[in-house]
Structure formats: C-alpha cells, structure tokens
Amino acid sequence: MGTFFKNLYRNKALLFMVLPGAIWFFFFSYLPLAGTVVAFKEYRFNRDGFWASIARSEWVGWDNFKFLFSTSDAYTITRNTLLYNLAFIVLGLIFSVLMAIILSELVNRKLSKLYQTGMFLPYFLSWVIVGYFVFSFLSMDRGLLNQILGWFGMDPIQWYSEAKYWPYIMVIVNLWKSIGYSSVVYLAAILGIDKSLYEAAMIDGANKWQQIRNITLPLLTPIMTIMTLLAVGKIFYADFGLFYQVPRDSGTLYAVTNVIDTYVYRGLMTTGEIGMSAAAGLYQSVVGFALVMISNYVVRRMDKDSALF
C-alpha cells in the first residue's frame, strides 16, 4: 500500500491532467450502463423516479429487440447505416490523409495555417446550420444549383423529393464537415516524421511522389489503422444531425436517409417506447464492441504494432 500511495504522489500532476476526462467517462459512459436493463423491460415512468420506475416496469426479455427488427424497415435502416458508414470511413480516410499531405507540402506556413483553419471551421458548425446551408443550394425556388441549371436551359430539380441524389449529397456533406478535423491528426503525424529521411531520399534521387509513397504513407499506416479501428466501432451508429437535419426530415427520402438512430427517434416520438430506444442503443454498442475486437484481432495477426491493444 505504501508503494501504491508513493506512486500516486509521484504521478499526481499526470493524474490531475486525466481527472476531468475520467470524471466525464464515469458519469456519461460507465454510470449509465446500469440503465441498460431498460432494454429488457416495458418501461413506464411514474412520479417515484427513474429507478423506481424501472423496478415497477414489466420484464419483457427480448421483446424490444424483436419489435425493433421485425418491422419492414429493419433491412432498410440497417443497410443505410452500414453502407453510409463504410463510405464515410473509406472516403474520409483517403481524403483526410490526402489533405494532410497537401498541407504538409505547402512551403508558406502562414498560408498553410490559413487553409487549415478554413478546413477546420465546418467541424464547429451545428448540423442545423449545415442543413440551412444545404437548403440554400438545393431549394426548389431559389437554390443555387437550380439557378445554375436554369442558366444552361435545364429544368429545376426537386432535390428534396428525388431520393436518387441523396446518397451522394450525404457523403459530400459529411466529408466537407469532417475532413478538416480528421486531417489534423494525420498532419501532426506527418510533421513528427524525421526530416532526415526525406533528405536522404532526395540525395538518392527520389521525387516528391516517391517520398510520399515510400516514407510518408508507410509511417502513417499505424495511425491510419488505429483511426480506422476506432471508426469501425461506431459503424452501427449514425450521426443523427446529418441524417435528420440535412434532408429536413423529408418523408420521400426515408428510403435512403433513414438510419437506426433516426428510426428510433421517430418511433420514440410517436409511440414513446423508451425500451425500444434502449434496445437499439444496446444493440449498437454490443455490435460495435464485437467489430472492434474482431478487427483488432485481425490487425494484430497481420501487424502487432498497428493494433489498438
């Protein structure tokens, strides 16, 4: 025990640094775990409080999960959630690394900081604001895209009624908002690479593309793998703001914009089934955990140093 307290005192500065994050995880990640029992009950709230309501609610077992995935929309929302997240992970990785490499190659550092700030700014915008930005482009009457089509003598498009365009729109909007933030991680990793490696490559006659292919990308592989593994863990989660605010909750677009999160929200607002919402959240968490473990196991077998643990 004496050694334990000595180590605490010796590392007190580091422990105080991680204390805010530890408190946040305790209250918002670990403490709510006790509430997962709601997923297996027909939860009905009463005036005695949350825990008393849980105790008095009827135990229904797996009925909430059956109700969630026995509807005709189960396949659609699962397909949309998976395919969109796969597109976000793959394209986000490619464009984030590309943007980081481009920024690192700019000679003018002030100009690089300006571009980086401009790319980073959309990340701080709420999806409500982004939704209005998109509406200013896609509005039937005064949207910029329809005005451009009018200049070329083409008929305007009712964007919020044509589902076939929205898979591309959703991917583009998500990339526009997230690439600036994601590229910062890779840019930091690139700036940490030993410059002598590039100098040696230049002496050997390597051009810029050969330097990127043989030095930058191999050294970025571990951080790219880790970021991808973390993203895989959330592959069954969808950004609610993106799929609800940007399409403006248009019913004609549900076939391509309805995901698990928006489906549960609409069901909760319509029927008030809190148990179903809890079941969906538990399902997403369990599947995400399993995917991270499986992906990490595969990566560990291929390259032990690139695995999360």
Task: Tell me the per-residue pLDDT of 27-53, one tens digit each, with 9 for 90 and over.
Answer: 988 888 888 888 888 887 776 677 777
Beta bridge partners of 59: 41
Whole-model pTM: value is 0.85
pLDDT at residue 271 in the model: 73
Choice between 127 and 233, residue whose per-residue pLDDT is larger: 127
pLDDT at residue 273 in the model: 76
Choice between 269 and 241, residue whose per-residue pLDDT is larger: 241
pLDDT in tens, 201-213: 898 888 888 999 9
pLDDT at residue 49 in the model: 74
Question: In the predicted model, what is the mean pLDDT of residues 117-136?
Answer: 90
Q: How many CB atoms lie within 10 A of CB 254?
A: 19
pLDDT at residue 38 in the model: 87
Residues of the chain with CATH 1.10.3720.10: 79-259
Q: How many CB atoms lie within 10 A of CB 304?
A: 8
Both tokens assigned to 117: 């700030």
pLDDT at residue 222 in the model: 87
Question: In the predicted model, what is the mean pLDDT of residues 158-166?
Answer: 92
pLDDT at residue 229 in the model: 86
Total count of residues recorded for the chain: 309
**Where do runs of H (alpha helix) occur along the chain?**
2-10, 12-25, 50-56, 63-69, 74-105, 109-120, 127-138, 144-151, 166-191, 195-203, 208-211, 217-232, 240-245, 254-257, 260-271, 274-302
pLDDT at residue 265 in the model: 86
Return mean pLDDT, the chain: 86
**Which CATH fold would you assign to the domain 79-259?**
MetI-like fold (1.10.3720)
pLDDT in tens, 66-112: 877 777 778 888 889 999 999 999 999 999 999 999 888 887 777 77
With cut-offs at 50, 70 and 90, classify the pLDDT of residue 2.
Answer: low
Is pLDDT at 16 greater than 70 in this prediction?
Answer: yes
Cα–Cα dist 93/182, whole Å: 8
Cα–Cα dist 282/62, whole Å: 12
pLDDT at residue 1 in the model: 60
